[in-house]
Chains A and B, each alone.
Chain A
């Protein structure tokens, strides 16, 4: 166990009217610094819960999360969570620049002038110049998610945790956001942990894809993705190796959802 982020036998149980249900049944993972890891899995496998536990927003029933060797019990300053619903996670009473400044103002170590400069820098990075004084709800969905990404990155985190960040926008906007995140990941040497239900997105973006099984979830596949960087939306997706990775991940998911037999043929 020498990785940057280590998950040791993470379990999460919920007590309900019909007794306890086990969402996460002992997750073990070791994640390297500067890797881009996607987590996929059948619906209800607890992949979002897993991300929230890593973020220190939710506590696990047993097991532990270690970040840089230290146990995570509350949200670590070096990790920022990007939510799926940007409409709900951006503060509607704050303008774009004030939303981006929010994390910085609560770090307490920067002067007002440094904050202003940093906000400018990151608004520039996500290409939202000219929209500083707008409110989030005056922007399109893709632009709003870029505000959320700028707000997260302005704190200069080591790791981004992203919970289906591209699922609420249209297909073309999604491609734009994917490229933006890939570029920022490469340039800023971030570690990214992405939860998604989109297998293609997972394989295309990642250096490693982890598929969880149906609950009680465990790691079903842990697949290093050996595709050249920078990825290219059309060329990469046509590579035989890309298709092979995609095949393996999909076969695992479909098996869990009972959509196909073990050999990948559709059930009648």
Chain B
């Protein structure tokens, strides 16, 4: 392979990850960093594999992901509905815009104490937190999507006698779906973050709790194994999401290209 083709392939990025993992292994083995808090990568991997095969880690992950997806889909669903209404009806926009602009900038961890106060420390609190944080990116992107629907598409539907809810469902929703998906992808990352934070603050299971408990019990390899799991989970979800998005929005790529020509 020529140098030029190497520079254009993804291999160099994968090689960098491998090199860093090797450096990690070496730095721990040589004692450049205290092996007590910086175990060898090979040891972390071994612990991780044990935790996976024993079912301990999958169990923690399952309770985390259940909460995350319940919260995520509630947030996404409400975000799409409210975004559609705000985009379609000026009065709804005027009613809700100031409120969303006040609530949106508050960093999610700041309202954990409030959520605990009213919802306790169980699932309800975490699901609420995840839903609340997932809501805003979808809301804003859905709104932008609705505002950018081509008026000619709306008029076309109207000339076929379509109006009201059917117009929203048949034309406005699919037409703004590329925007909605962008919001959903941002929300997916946000949901993962808020899930971990809420489990670190108050939980008796879940991956966030697992990482924090390992750190407190000075089981450093377990701690790193938990973090490694989150990297794998985050990467996998993003990949799955992109694959679904590419399938559903297959039409959008060609359409955008046509508009550019």
**Mask for B127-152, Cβ within 8 A of A = 1, else 0?**
00000000000000000000000101
Partner of B251, one of A85, A89, A92, A103: A92
Our pick among A80, A103, A137 for the contact of B255 (Cβ within 8 Å) is A137
A93 to B249, CA, bound (A): 8
- Judging by beta carbons under 8 Å apart, are B254 and A93 in contact? no
Contact residues in A for B166 (Cβ distance below 8 Å): 106
Question: Which single member of B156, B255, B258 contacts A83 (CB below 8 Å)?
Answer: B156
The answer, among B153, B158, B174, for a CB contact under 8 Å with A88, is B153
In the complex, chain B residues whose CB is within 8 Å of the CB of A138: 254
The answer to whether B255 touches A92 (Cβ under 8 A) is: yes
The size bracket of the interface on B is 20 to 34
Q: In the complex, which residue of chain A has the Cβ closest to the Cβ of B171?
A: A91
CB distance from A156 to the nearest CB of B (A): 13
Cβ contact of A89, chosen from B156, B170, B258, cutoff 8 A: B156
Does B159 contact A135, Cβ atoms closer than 8 Å?
Answer: no
Is A45 an interface residue, CB under 8 A from the partner?
no
Say how far A171's CB is from chain B's closest CB, in angstroms.
19
Q: Does B252 contact A (CB under 8 A)?
A: yes
User: B-side binding surface: helix, strand, loop or mixed?
Assistant: helix
In the complex, whether B118 has a CB less than 8 A from a CB of chain A is: no
Contacts of B257 in A (CB 8 A): 137
Across the interface, A106 reaches (CB within 8 A) one of B153, B160, B251, B252, namely: B160
Contact with A along B84-109 (1 / 0, CB 8 A): 00000000000000000000000000
- Chain A residues with CB under 8 Å of B252's CB are 92-93
Cβ of B259 within 8 Å of any chain A Cβ, yes or no, is yes
Complexed CA–CA distance, A55 and B258 (Å): 28
Q: CB within 8 A of B155: which of A83, A93, A102, A103?
A: A83
Known: A75-B159, A80-B159, A106-B162. A137 touches B258 (CB 8 A): yes
Instruction: Determine whether the beta carbon of B152 is less than 8 Å from that of A106.
Output: no
User: Which of B161, B174, B259 is A87 in contact with, Cβ under 8 Å?
Assistant: B259
A52 CB to closest chain B CB (Å) equals 8
Min Cβ gap B149→A in Å is 11
The 0/1 profile, CB within 8 Å of A marked 1, for residues 34-78 of chain B is: 000000000000000000000000000000000000000000000
Contact (A57, B152) CB under 8 Å given A93-B251, A135-B251, A135-B255: no
B70–chain A nearest beta-carbon distance, Å:
29
Sorted nearest first, the 4 A-B pairs with minimum C-beta distance are: A92-B255, A88-B152, A137-B258, A81-B159
Residues of chain B having any CB pair with chain A under 8 Å? 150, 152-153, 155-162, 166, 170-171, 174-175, 177, 251-252, 254-255, 257-259
User: Known pairs A80-B159, A81-B155. 5 more at Cβ < 8 A?
Assistant: A85-B152, A89-B152, A107-B161, A137-B254, A137-B255
